[in-house]
Amino acid sequence: MDSPDFRAILERIAEEIERTPGRGRPADYIPALAARDPRHFGMAVAEPDGTVYGVGDWREPFSTQSITKVFTLALDLAREGDALWEHVGREPSGNPFNSLVQLEYENGIPRNPFINAGALVVTDRLHTRTGDAAGTLLSFLRTESGNPGLDFDPQIAASESAHGDRNAALAHFMASYGNIDNPVPVLLDQYFRQCSLTASCADLALATAFLARHGLRADGTRLLTRSQAKQVNAVMLTCGTYDAAGDFAYRVGLPGKSGVGGGIIAVVPGRCTLCVWSPGLDERGNSVAGVAALDRFTTLTGLSIF
Amino acid sequence: MDSPDFRAILERIAEEIERTPGRGRPADYIPALAARDPRHFGMAVAEPDGTVYGVGDWREPFSTQSITKVFTLALDLAREGDALWEHVGREPSGNPFNSLVQLEYENGIPRNPFINAGALVVTDRLHTRTGDAAGTLLSFLRTESGNPGLDFDPQIAASESAHGDRNAALAHFMASYGNIDNPVPVLLDQYFRQCSLTASCADLALATAFLARHGLRADGTRLLTRSQAKQVNAVMLTCGTYDAAGDFAYRVGLPGKSGVGGGIIAVVPGRCTLCVWSPGLDERGNSVAGVAALDRFTTLTGLSIF
Amino acid sequence: MDSPDFRAILERIAEEIERTPGRGRPADYIPALAARDPRHFGMAVAEPDGTVYGVGDWREPFSTQSITKVFTLALDLAREGDALWEHVGREPSGNPFNSLVQLEYENGIPRNPFINAGALVVTDRLHTRTGDAAGTLLSFLRTESGNPGLDFDPQIAASESAHGDRNAALAHFMASYGNIDNPVPVLLDQYFRQCSLTASCADLALATAFLARHGLRADGTRLLTRSQAKQVNAVMLTCGTYDAAGDFAYRVGLPGKSGVGGGIIAVVPGRCTLCVWSPGLDERGNSVAGVAALDRFTTLTGLSIF
Amino acid sequence: MDSPDFRAILERIAEEIERTPGRGRPADYIPALAARDPRHFGMAVAEPDGTVYGVGDWREPFSTQSITKVFTLALDLAREGDALWEHVGREPSGNPFNSLVQLEYENGIPRNPFINAGALVVTDRLHTRTGDAAGTLLSFLRTESGNPGLDFDPQIAASESAHGDRNAALAHFMASYGNIDNPVPVLLDQYFRQCSLTASCADLALATAFLARHGLRADGTRLLTRSQAKQVNAVMLTCGTYDAAGDFAYRVGLPGKSGVGGGIIAVVPGRCTLCVWSPGLDERGNSVAGVAALDRFTTLTGLSIF
């Protein structure tokens, strides 16, 4: 099967997005996110061999936020395998309102690794296994993206921490069920640092490519088994976009993971990975222009999994 | 891309299932389901051109139950298009416990068309549009399967009705929000008849094939647009197996829909459709041997969407 | 202990209420309630010997609605005693939002006899024991009030039935747990008739007096044991005013039961019973002027139980 | 109205309790509570003039736990008055399951001052007003009980803190809604110290007497207005015994507050206060022998408020 002409398709999408009014509003709970101009738009496609195409602000660093949850999941799954699933589920979580009641109803086991409670558990476990969850993540991302300058943003991490009462509540609540190993302040420090990672569309499309390569890293060594890579894609599809996972599957039809910084990564298994960024969000926390661009991408290329 | 040798693969799966102990327990809320022997196992694969392969009890009729929700959805979507989504969502529902509270929280709009509340809404709308929801469904299934003998089972419909208080509660509750058009007793009669449809794996694999043909019926006419067919597949993947949608995506990696009669249909878009049947269920209401067989199928053929 | 001068106190309260602006809004879900003028105000006090004092519209009939739940409870408790409490709890229900989830969480056992679900259970049980729950209620109220003209309002009962989907949902839901004996349509007919009872403040203050007489009816025969009468008062205090029971206890400090017709009955054990009526409701469904008048009554007389 | 012969009544109750098998089980989440012998039983009655009667282990110190929530509430209400009610409600909370979901549903405002979330808010506010919530409480209790030896138990406070993840979760969660003023660790330290107070039935019956004196302290100065004292009694009645408030009102018929150390205080407004202690708890966290003794007390004396 020939590859589509990704360069031409990206140009066409960028033009269409340019002409489309309405970009949503940047997240405003911390200043660094609120300050981004919603007119930013960047998009990158990486092929499994490391070729990368881009358009617009595709080399501009932005705050990755929840996108890092995918990498933390993969890094822990690579280390502990299926034992992870005794501590976090892999079912969609229903709406945000339920996060706490479900946690209570299910005895401190979060529904999936991509809601905050679940990501806290995964970070906790990775930290126990490595002694440095955030450092493990950073090292992996620098290598896979080929960008040694990738780093956390201490100011954003501090802002997250200052607004971190809800995450602290989740962590203590799960600790009361014995589902957290590390002291809560240690865990939160690790977690907020991960959220603060700054990277570009190019960086993230490349760093995600192991999921299009069925688990192989850029250097050809194996991070995940073929089956595990498929499983991470499945969890992204069913749980990757907050309470809009069904809608995202319906419109875009690709495994994806969004962050409140306005970025979204997506995977066409075996074919390519994508990262799109535009800071304006819809009411469910996903980038307005980002979802629209991915929707156009699957329509123009026919690359949906469905 | 060449097709796998479906016949050989089905034989191999049947042998493996045969050797595997533990089949779960049949649903026991109505006698007709409880009476089925959990050792039954049948599986069929249909190619888009109508070729069908099978193994075991693949020609034995069984109670389809919730599997019909897929066809009712497609038949209504074909008629009213996106307007349907103002009356039912397309997001996973979280766990069973939430069914009623979510309905209350979201003002009588069910989360998706495959939970009972959502299927009641879809049936109600199809009935308003056609004057005979159950008849429209039956006619469609007879034509697509090429089996004019397909029919509802009045005894099962009567049993469902006798145990129908919870569905009656859901229907009245949604009616209190103005989300049901027909009188509740009329709606319940239509709904319980649909649940009572009896069909075989061969029938259902063929009847589902329009989803592998991107919306085209057996005679080449179009039921759904390409985009709508993709959307039905997406809803099946995220919502098709009760509270195990994430787990099913993780293990099987195909859009699927199960019923408490022990049947499961699944779709490999563009390639084939499957139906597997074995009456023993796991604790979330999905056929134990059925899920295992589909898991083996995607492993042996590599036909997962991920 | 001398009785306060009830006549003078009622006159004073009526004058104060007259001068107070803001009466809330009548219930508007059925026309007969919406049509009542919120400027109506009546109040009656009955002494255990049957002496009754009143002010304002104290002889004007109004729709009693949920107030009848107290009498149905007493009539069933008199017949089956503590066995009733296996089918309905006696704990406050938290807020309205929880009604359905609690019912699900607690396997179809409603929290108390004064939420709709609980009143449906009590009516169902009284109907099973008497063959005519509504008739039993009516007969009791006519005798205790000394008003043989008391009756149900068929037009209001029909309106309730036409807006009865939520109560139908509750009844079917509890039936699915085996907690309803009679066919749901029969039960709903009994229930809606009770809700439609029309009576005046004078009627209701007199009919409630058995609770001030520690269980004795007007003719000196015993309906409830002393202990049961105390128990009904306790349930009224903790559960009698929807989600405002705590606030009502805090402000008024008497066992009371309100209805969305704007009436409230209250009990000063051993001393007197009260009924106040004004159609305008607050956002929690209790009469604005009614609560204010009872608040003034306990302040002026010192007759709070606390 | 003559007082009953409290001494004789207490003796009789103690004898009956002695003969009754089944005492429940002590709380076991911290060692200091688990170690208490469930055969302990003590009971004290204090008259408004400071006369105190007792039986059994009425002078034995025990861990007061949640009983101190009544005093903290009174001490804060005395300082800030009705403004407190903008930060905590006064409605019963439904069942324990709801604690977190209600907090979320109601935007971080706990239902009442006697659930843990509400007590944290009251402690937080008292600490802001006094600079030393625990010290203010201790000073008050020493004075009212006439026992300068009353003190916190540092070992119990440390145990509470070591098992404090759920309370930490509640505090952080409310902080995320802006409903906590002090840093969470400071607040928790204050809170756990209060829970660790050790006192006897005699101490607590005397310390509670301001609620029987309509707000007057032992020295005749006023802590609460008459109206506020009535209000605290009302909140105790509707919310004082966890999820058994309705049952307690039904059986005992007095405002009361229990603690998981096995103590219960109760008030007969204008007449007397009681404290009973026995470490064995029922499944809802209330002392089995304690509730039984209070039930007998109101039956023998007729002193119920209903």
Tell whether residue D286 is among the known ligand binding residues. Answer: no
Cα–Cα distance measured from residue D258 to residue D66, given in angstroms and rounded to the nearest whole number: 7
| pLDDT for res A3 | 74
Is 0.95 topped by the overall pTM? Answer: no
Structural domain includes residue C257? yes
Q: Does residue C182 sit in helix, strand or coil?
A: coil
Determine the straight-line distance between the first and last CA of chain B, rounded to whole angstroms.
17
Cα–Cα distance measured from residue C236 to residue C208, given in angstroms and rounded to the nearest whole number: 12
Residues paired with residue A199 on neighbouring β-strands, in sequence order: A62
- Average the pLDDT over B233-239 and give the result: 95
Cα–Cα distance measured from residue C57 to residue A279, given in angstroms and rounded to the nearest whole number: 63
Residue C96 has pLDDT above 60, yes or no: no
Structural domain includes residue D306? no
| Whether C87 contacts C40, CB under 8 Å | no
- Average the pLDDT over D16-39 and give the result: 92
A-chain residues near D97 (CB < 8 A): 104-105
Q: Which two tokens stand for residue D239?
A: 């919310």
Indicate the pLDDT class of residue C2, thresholds 50, 70 and 90: low
Question: Between chains, do C172 and B176 touch, taking CB under 8 Å as contact?
Answer: no
- Average the pLDDT over C161-172 and give the result: 94
CA-nearest of D198, D304, D196 to D256 is D304
Residue C1 has pLDDT above 60, yes or no: no
Question: Between chains, do A237 and B244 touch, taking CB under 8 Å as contact?
Answer: no
- Domain interval for residue B98: 6-301
| pLDDT for res A99 | 63
Is C112 in the D-facing interface, judged by CB distances under 8 Å?
Answer: yes
Cα–Cα distance measured from residue B235 to residue C31, given in angstroms and rounded to the nearest whole number: 42
Question: How far from the centroid of its chain's Cα atoms is residue D79's Cα?
Answer: 19
Under-50 pLDDT residues of chain A? 97-98
| pLDDT for res B55 | 98
- Average the pLDDT over C23-50 and give the result: 94
Structural domain includes residue C1? no
Range with the lowest mean pLDDT among B126-140, C12-26, D62-76? C12-26
Interface A–D counts its CB contacts (< 8 A) at: 50
Indicate the pLDDT class of residue B97, thresholds 50, 70 and 90: very low
| pLDDT for res C22 | 84
Is D81 in the C-facing interface, judged by CB distances under 8 Å?
Answer: no
Say whether B55 is catalytic. no
Could you tell me where the beta strands, DSSP code E, fall in D117-213? 151-152, 197-199
Cα–Cα distance measured from residue B140 to residue B161, given in angstroms and rounded to the nearest whole number: 24
Question: Between chains, do D106 and C95 touch, taking CB under 8 Å as contact?
Answer: yes
Structural domain includes residue B1? no
Is B168 in the C-facing interface, judged by CB distances under 8 Å?
Answer: yes
Is C105 in the D-facing interface, judged by CB distances under 8 Å?
Answer: yes
- Average the pLDDT over C87-103 and give the result: 74
D-chain residues near A96 (CB < 8 A): none
Cα–Cα distance measured from residue C265 to residue C274, given in angstroms and rounded to the nearest whole number: 6
The C-alpha of C116 sits at a distance from chain B's nearest C-alpha, in angstroms, of 14
Among all chains, which residue has been given the structure tokens 């004064």? Answer: C114
Residue C102 has pLDDT above 80, yes or no: no
Structural domain includes residue C306? no
Amino acid at B167: N
Question: How far from the centroid of its chain's Cα atoms is residue B53's Cα?
Answer: 20
Residue B295 has pLDDT above 80, yes or no: yes
- Average the pLDDT over B83-91 and give the result: 95
Indicate the pLDDT class of residue B229, thresholds 50, 70 and 90: very high
Share of chain B above pLDDT 90, in %: 87
- Average the pLDDT over B119-134 and give the result: 98
Tell whether residue B276 is among the known ligand binding residues. Answer: no
- Average the pLDDT over B251-267 and give the result: 97
Report CA Rg, chain B. Answer: 18
CB-side neighbour CA atoms (13 Å) of A227: 9
| Whether D134 contacts D68, CB under 8 Å | no
| Whether D40 contacts D279, CB under 8 Å | yes
| pLDDT for res D97 | 45
> Active-site residue among B122, B184, B260, B267?
B260
| pLDDT for res B94 | 66
Overall domain count for chain B: 1
Cα–Cα distance measured from residue C190 to residue C132, given in angstroms and rounded to the nearest whole number: 8
| pLDDT for res C99 | 63
Q: Which are the contacts of C5, defined by CB distance < 8 A and separation ≥ 6? A: none
| Chain mean pLDDT for chain B | 94
- Average the pLDDT over D46-74 and give the result: 98
| pLDDT for res C106 | 80
Count the Cβ atoms, other than its own, within 10 Å of residue C18.
11
* Active-site residue list of C: 66, 69, 191, 242, 260
| pLDDT single digits (tens) D235-280 | 999 999 988 888 999 999 999 999 999 999 999 999 999 999 999 9
Q: Which are the contacts of B212, defined by CB distance < 8 A and separation ≥ 6? A: B46, B48, B267, B268, B269, B270, B271, B272, B273
| Residue of A176, A179, A182, A184 to mutate, interface with D, max D Cβ within 10 Å | A176
Question: How far from the centroid of its chain's Cα atoms is residue D27's Cα?
Answer: 16
| Residue of A29, A98, A104 to mutate, interface with D, max D Cβ within 10 Å | A104
Question: Between chains, do A245 and B238 touch, taking CB under 8 Å as contact?
Answer: yes
Indicate the pLDDT class of residue C94, thresholds 50, 70 and 90: low
Report CA Rg, chain C. Answer: 18
| pLDDT for res C92 | 87
The C-alpha of B38 sits at a distance from chain C's nearest C-alpha, in angstroms, of 27
Cα–Cα distance measured from residue C5 to residue B291, given in angstroms and rounded to the nearest whole number: 78
> Tell me, what CATH number does D270's domain have?
3.40.710.10
| pLDDT for res D102 | 74
Distances (CA, A) of A153 to A63, A101, A139, A156, A280: 8, 33, 15, 5, 20
Tell whether residue B287 is among the known ligand binding residues. Answer: no
Indicate the pLDDT class of residue C103, thresholds 50, 70 and 90: confident
Indicate the pLDDT class of residue C97, thresholds 50, 70 and 90: very low
Residue D96 has pLDDT above 60, yes or no: no
Helix (H) or strand (E) segment spanning residue B52: strand B52-56
Q: What is the ipTM of this complex?
A: 0.90
Structural domain includes residue A306? no
Torsional class of B107: left (φ above 0), alpha (ψ -120 to 50), beta (otherwise): left
| pLDDT for res C4 | 86
B-contacting residues in C 181-200 (Cβ below 8 Å) = 184
| pLDDT for res D166 | 92
Structural domain includes residue B285? yes
Residues paired with residue D197 on neighbouring β-strands, in sequence order: D152
Q: Does residue C151 sit in helix, strand or coil?
A: strand
| Chain mean pLDDT for chain C | 94
| Whether A242 contacts A98, CB under 8 Å | no
Cα–Cα distance measured from residue A273 to residue A48, given in angstroms and rounded to the nearest whole number: 8
